[in-house]
């Protein structure tokens, strides 16, 4: 249980906005979830998505008030390019949102302080506090889904970077003469290790990475190679970062991580090969909270923001 300066224990409200659903929770001071609300993400995107966030946030605030739970700000985790400093979502293609002042709009509609953060940073924090990172102070989180991105935790703080964009590893070059990426450059990690990239390499056009995993489980060599190659690229790129930052634990989440050992064991092997000359390798562990890392991380951040604003820069 955490306490505010006035001594009253506080809870938190977190919301995670994904391509298919918007999920929110209220946690009580102990960290246990006392309420969950969710809605499908409106297909039309844009303003409709923000309105759905307002609806979920209002419902959660009502539950918190009714239960006498004092909560921190509403913390919303969103995908894309998120300017958490100014409260603006710069670009979230999956939500059809461009340069949207999400914080100002939600805050005025719900009458409660609100902040927005990148969903992968929220997920990393969720895993740190309540998942695979419990007990760690310095750890990295890798999210593999439609894109590839990371979040770094140093001394229990999620590292933000100057513009809040730290961890965008998906656009680091992985292949010297690679194909063109959505970002316009060539050979980005995302072009060889994201869900769509793995499906493309496996020659699978329907069913995405789940279909690749199913084919691999039946022994399909092309599917197995696609997953192995993706793990190889991830391992080679990440090994240097993990070494430079002196990190020893990599938590892996996101839809593609559900492929499981075929991907994660290969990633571990690549680290072991790459890091053979250093004292300790990097340990690869699956995220422990499944699809809930982001929403729980947002809620824990809400709690933390109420308890100690000064220490919490990210
Ligand atoms: Zn790129």
- Centre of ligand 1 from the C-alpha of residue 149, in Å: 11
Compute the distance from residue 252 Cα to the ligand 1 centre, in Å.
20
Strand 148-154 and strand 157-158: pairing?
antiparallel
Give distance in angstroms: CA of 145 to centre of ligand 1.
14
Q: How far is the CA of 189 from the centre of ligand 1 (A)?
A: 7
Centre of ligand 1 from the C-alpha of residue 27, in Å:
37
Average pLDDT of the chain is 92
For position 8, what pLDDT does the model report? 67
171 C-alpha vs ligand 1 centroid, how far in Å?
4
Q: Is the pLDDT of residue 3 over 60?
A: no
| CA of 231 relative to ligand 1 center, distance in Å | 18
What pLDDT sits at residue 190? 95
Distance from Cα 45 to the centre of ligand 1, integer Å: 23
Domains of the chain and CATH, by start: 11-124+291-307 (3.30.420.40), 132-288 (3.30.420.40)
Q: Say which residues have a Cβ less than 8 Å from residue 112's Cβ, sequence separation at least 6.
A: 57, 61, 73, 74
> Quick one: pLDDT at residue 183?
87
**pLDDT tens figures, 165-184:** 899 999 999 999 999 998 89
Query: How remote is the CA of residue 129 from the centroid of ligand 1, in Å?
Result: 31
Find the 179 Cα to ligand 1 centroid distance in Å: 10
Question: pLDDT for 245-268, tens place per residue?
Answer: 999 999 999 999 989 999 999 999
pLDDT at 306: 82
Residue 36: predicted pLDDT? 97
Distance 154 CA to ligand 1 centre (A): 26
Q: Indicate if the pLDDT at residue 1 is higher than 80.
A: no
* pLDDT tens track for 135-167: 999 999 999 998 999 999 999 999 988 878 899
Question: Would you state the structure tokens that stand for residue 185, as one six-digit string?
Answer: 């450059």
- pTM, two decimals, is 0.92
């Amino acid at each position: 249980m955490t306490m505010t300066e006035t001594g009253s224990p506080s809870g938190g409200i977190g919301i995670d906005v994904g391509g298919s659903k918007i999920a929110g929770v209220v946690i009580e001071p102990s960290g246990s979830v006392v309420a969950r609300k969710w809605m499908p993400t409106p297909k039309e995107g844009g303003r409709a998505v923000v309105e759905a966030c307002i609806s979920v946030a209002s419902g959660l605030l009502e539950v918190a008030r009714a239960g006498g739970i004092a909560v921190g700000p509403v913390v919303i985790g969103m995908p894309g390019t998120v300017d958490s400093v100014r409260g603006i979502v710069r670009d979230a293609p999956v939500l059809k949102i461009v340069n949207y002042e999400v914080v100002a709009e939600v805050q005025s509609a719900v009458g409660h302080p609100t902040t927005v953060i990148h969903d992968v940073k929220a997920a990393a924090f969720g895993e740190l506090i309540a998942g695979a990172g419990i007990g760690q102070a310095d750890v990295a989180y890798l999210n593999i889904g439609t894109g590839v991105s990371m979040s770094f935790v140093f001394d229990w703080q999620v590292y933000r970077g100057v513009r809040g964009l730290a961890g965008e590893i998906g656009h680091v070059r992985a292949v010297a003469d690679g194909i063109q990426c959505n970002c316009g450059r060539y050979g980005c990690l995302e072009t060889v290790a994201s869900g769509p990239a793995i499906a493309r390499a496996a020659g699978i056009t329907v069913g995405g990475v789940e279909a690749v995993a199913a084919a691999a489980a039946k022994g399909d060599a092309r599917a197995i190679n696609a997953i192995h190659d993706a793990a190889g690229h991830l391992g080679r790129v990440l090994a240097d970062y993990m070494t430079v930052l002196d990190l020893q634990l990599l938590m892996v989440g996101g839809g593609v991580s559900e492929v499981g050992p075929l991907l994660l064991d290969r990633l571990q092997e690549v680290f072991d090969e790459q890091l053979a000359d250093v004292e300790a390798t990097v340990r690869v562990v699956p995220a422990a909270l499944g699809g809930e890392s982001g929403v729980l991380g947002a809620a824990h951040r809400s709690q933390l923001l109420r308890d100690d604003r000064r220490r919490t820069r990210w």
